[in-house]
Structure 1
Amino acid sequence: MTVSITQFEQDLPQTDDFKSIVLNNTPLIDVRAPVEFSQGAFPNTVNLPLMTDEERQKVGICYKQYGNEAAVKLGHKLVNEQVREPRVQSWRAFMEAHPDALLYCFRGGMRSKISQQWLKDSGREIVRLKGGYKAFRRYLIDFLEAVPTTFPQSGIQPVVLAGRTGSGKTLLLQQLQNTVDLEGLAHHRGSAFGRHATPQPTQINFENALAMELIRFQETPHRRLVIEDEGRNIGTVYMSKELFEFFKGGSRVVLETPLEERIAITLDEYVVQAQKEYPSVDDWKAFMLAAFNRIQKRLGGERYQRVLQQFNQALQIQLSSGSIDEHQTWIETLLVEYYDPMYDYQMQKRQHKVEFSGSIQEIVDYLQSPQNA
């Protein structure tokens, strides 16, 4: 059986203007295999692979055993014209919806070039990323590593938004334009109870998304970057030591919220909104019990049993009457007896100078004033 090998036209268009891609939120087609995509990709990207995981594996084995020419022939045999057609159609459909889309594979070589040529043969032209995923990823990592140097050079300084657990820091950030939401990018609320029902991004995806947010921020007129007071680790993802220390070196703005409001905010976030994420209340209960168990040692035996009893009682009342009010009891216990002492200890330990403190509205007004934007 004769295998038809793709013939490439000269000067198929490429681009390595990665900054423009970030600033314009350019849609991307990733033609790598699904297993590669799952390990790391870019925001605003769809995985429409040239080869399945199994096909890629077979070609890879062939390459190691018999060399490039044999691997190329096997690839074309596996992805023959009949197999090829629906894949090309999926690329064309994405391009219909996103005319400015670009295309990439791992190194910007054979796979993306073949995909690009097949699209051209079908009547559609697309530009591929020069250097592919690897080059774009390198660009983002280089930018991220340089932020502690380049941001001060650009006159950009971090402002750290501190405040007790439940004070509404995320709610405040949502009212500002000169901010990067680290918890949002990490898909985690930043506490023992902060995990969502759906998984966090991979470390690679977190870094890619964070770099893109900071690239866009640098192009704004804002010279103060407001970020929430976080640890270096946010759930399973983390910031580099240098970037974390740069953020932590910013001036402090402290959100002061009365306990009653903090309880209400926590109730909404960790009970009302969290329960909506799970298929059933039982699934949410299992998550919460596991979270309580993770902090059992730090709570201490007596307090752990007391909080657990308050939680179980609140859940029973909710299931029998539909009322969630009783959940305020265990929330108050955790805030006052567990989170507040930790917060007080950290604030005393760090001895950071507080630039401003106040309510959500007072801080919003302060940070939106011309001299602080």
Structure 2
Amino acid sequence: MIKFVEYNEVLENPKEYILIDVRSPKEFNEATIPGAVNIPLFTNEEREKIGYVYVNESVEKAKRIGIEAISARLPYIYDRIVSLYKPHKRLAFFCAKGGMRSGSISSLINSLGFNSYKLKGGYKGYRDFINKQLPLINEDIKYIVIHGKTGTGKTEILSRLREKGFDVLDLEYAANHRGSLLGNVGLGECRSQKMFESLVYEELSLRKSKYVFVEGESKRIGRIIISQCIFNKMNEGYHVYLEGDVSFRRENLLREYTSPDNADMEIIEDLEAMKKHISEKNIIRYKDMIMNREYDKVCEELMIKYYDPMYINSMKKHEFVEKMYIESIEDGVNKLQKWFEDNLQLEG
């Protein structure tokens, strides 16, 4: 017997349910429900083979291949499920559309005495939920949008504000990209659009007030597009500009970009994407400087000659309610907190 559960029911009892994504690792890595655990019934290769046979040969043959594939993995799957069941007591399985994969394993596990459910609509049903709820949850928010030239430490300032109890939406974390042409250095792949929207919804659903701090961004972060409803509300928010001297900004960038072991090669590769903004001669020179570990000189030149002029031009469309000169990350946090307390705290 299969028991069903809606995603909103899981949200209402988050400590009772554990979401189990039974899709292939490839599907899971592209996007999943935040907090879900991947226990794939099939490997990536098995899923492709079963799909091909299902479409091009016969449904029965595809089912048989699936049974053969999963049978050898059942003891492992069982052990994983037992380990998850103890602290949660309710298992919610899902696959792509709430079909055969989640239905079969949910039915089997339920017959073994576990309190298991099939997530209605699967991952597709969850996506429908996000598409409907994200605009609604965004409606009453007033964003406090932090702007500042490259290296001002805006992301770290947001993190410190969250630690102090303020509501924060970290779009760059959700995208896993810093938004600039060198924005993926040391971070790996940019997240998918679907995963980005899921993480944004998760952050906004946890807010305690109508005020949310967010970093000013263009509509695109790497390959991610910010949802139009959120982008519009950001434009309608309070815009605050942070200014810091070049040495402060340079040290922030060096700490952020040069710490990964493979940073040098990633920076060199990404410099190629800047050819329409920087001459070939300078790109070659920057590459040589990076190989010689002259990071500070490259960093300062890129800020002054490339990033700052572009940023200043993009800021002309905003009206700032406050401009602050900051000398450190902590100074920026303190000044933003004071501005909030002086201007918005009583309204919140």
Q: Same fold (TM over 0.5)?
A: yes
Task: Report how many aligned residue pairs link the two structures.
Answer: 333
Deviations along 1:322-357, one digit per CA (max 9) or x if unpaired, are: xxxx53222222212221111221222x1x211112
Aligned to 1:140: 130
Q: Are 1:300 and 2:312 an aligned pair?
A: no
* Letter of the 2:145 counterpart: V
Does the aligned pair in 1 maintain the 2:185–2:263 contact within 8 Å? no
Q: Secondary structure at the match of 2:160?
A: coil
Deviation at 1:309, TM superposition (A): 4.9
Distance 1:23 1:252, change over 3 A: farther
1:343 maps to what in 2?
Answer: 311
Identity %: 27
1:286 matched residue in structure 2: 265
1:75–1:366 distance in 2 versus 1, CA, 3 Å: same
1:264 paired to 2:251: yes
What is aligned with 2:24? Answer: 33
Match of 1:3 in 2: none
Q: Matched residue of 1:43: which SS?
A: coil
Partner of residue 49, structure 1: 40
8 Å CA contact 1:188, 1:235 repeated in 2:
yes
State whether residues 162 and 252 of structure 1, in contact with CA within 8 Å, keep that contact through their aligned partners in structure 2. yes
Q: Is 1:171 aligned to residue 156 of structure 2?
A: yes
Larger radius of gyration: 1
Answer whether contact 2:168 2:203 (CA < 8 A) is retained. no
**2:93 aligned residue:** 103
CA shift at 1:39, angstroms? Answer: 3.3
Please tell me whether the aligned partners of residues 140 and 212 of structure 1 are also in contact (alpha carbons under 8 angstroms): no
CA shift at 1:22, angstroms? 8.1
Per the TM alignment, residue 170 of structure 1 is displaced from its structure 2 partner at its CA by 0.9
Is 1:248 aligned to residue 235 of structure 2? yes
1:146-166: per-residue Cα shift (whole Å, max 9, x none)?
24xx534x3x21221101110
Q: 1:24 to 1:309 in 2, by over 3 A?
A: same
Take 1:251 and 1:23, find their aligned partners in 2: how far apart are those partners? 35
Of 154, 171, 178, 1:182 maps to: 171
Q: What is the distance in 1 between the residues matched to 2:114 and 2:238?
A: 52
TM-score, normalising length: structure 2 = 0.84
* Within-5 A mapping of 1:75-224: 75-80=66-71, 83-96=73-86, 98-144=88-134, 146-147=135-136, 151-152=138-139, 154=140, 156-176=141-161, 177-197=166-186, 198-217=188-207, 220=208, 222-224=209-211
- 1:301 deviates by 4.9
Residues 33-85 of structure 1 deviation map (CA, whole Å, 9 limit, x = unaligned): 333323321221222122334444454455446766665455445434x5433
Q: Structure 1-normalised TM-score?
A: 0.79
DSSP-derived class of the 1:299 partner: coil
User: CA deviation digits over 1:269-313, x for unaligned, max 9?
Assistant: 112x3x3xx3xxxx3222111222221331235654554454344
Equivalent in the alignment of 2:329: none
